[in-house]
Structure formats: C-alpha cells, structure tokens
Amino acid sequence: MKPLVSILIPAHNAAEWIVDTLNSAVAQTWPRKEIIIVDDGSRDRTAELARSVASKEVVVVSTKNQGAAAARNYALKLSHGDRTATRGSPRR
C-alpha cells in the first residue's frame, strides 16, 4: 500500500487564494492523501471558503493567530500521514 501523504496548509487572511490552493491540493494524483488547513485567526473569509471545500479528505480547523510556524506545527500534530508536504498561501 502506498504511504499516506499529509498536505499541511497554514492560512492567514488568504481568502483570495485559499480555494485555488485547496483545489490544487485536491487535484494531486497521489492516491492516499489528507489535506489539513489551519486557519490562523484570519479576519477575512478564509475559514468560510476553506470549509466550503471540506470533505472526508479535507479537514479545516481554526485557531487564534499565532503565526505560520504555530499553524504548521498544529497541522502536523493533527496529521496521520507517513509523509508530509507543506504549502503556504502566497504573500502580497
């Protein structure tokens, strides 16, 4: 069996990019993957938009704003994968 890959996505005020980011992660052809988005205290619609894509494969959690490293570490703590990949939202 192929290993489970965890795609970890920290997001903060990323409403402009989060749906494209999630669609890209979902479109990856690896057969066993989980996608974990940690909304790091966004004040825009990031969490709402991410939850619109949520599924059995896509998990969305929200935390208070603690920075990208804390969001990544939290996503890693929630992950079950044998391998991990981290994606960040673009910065302006």
CA distance 73 to 44: 22
Q: pLDDT, tens digit, for every residue of 73-88?
A: 999 999 999 998 876 6
Domains of the chain are 5-86 (3.90.550.10)
Question: Could you report the per-residue pLDDT of 2-58, keeping only the tens digit for each?
Answer: 999 999 999 999 999 999 999 999 999 999 999 999 999 999 999 999 999 989 999
pTM above 0.85, yes or no: yes
- DSSP, res 26: H
Query: Which candidate, 85, 90, 91, 88, places its Cα nearest to that of 3?
Result: 85
Nearest-angstrom CA–CA distance, 87 and 1? 25
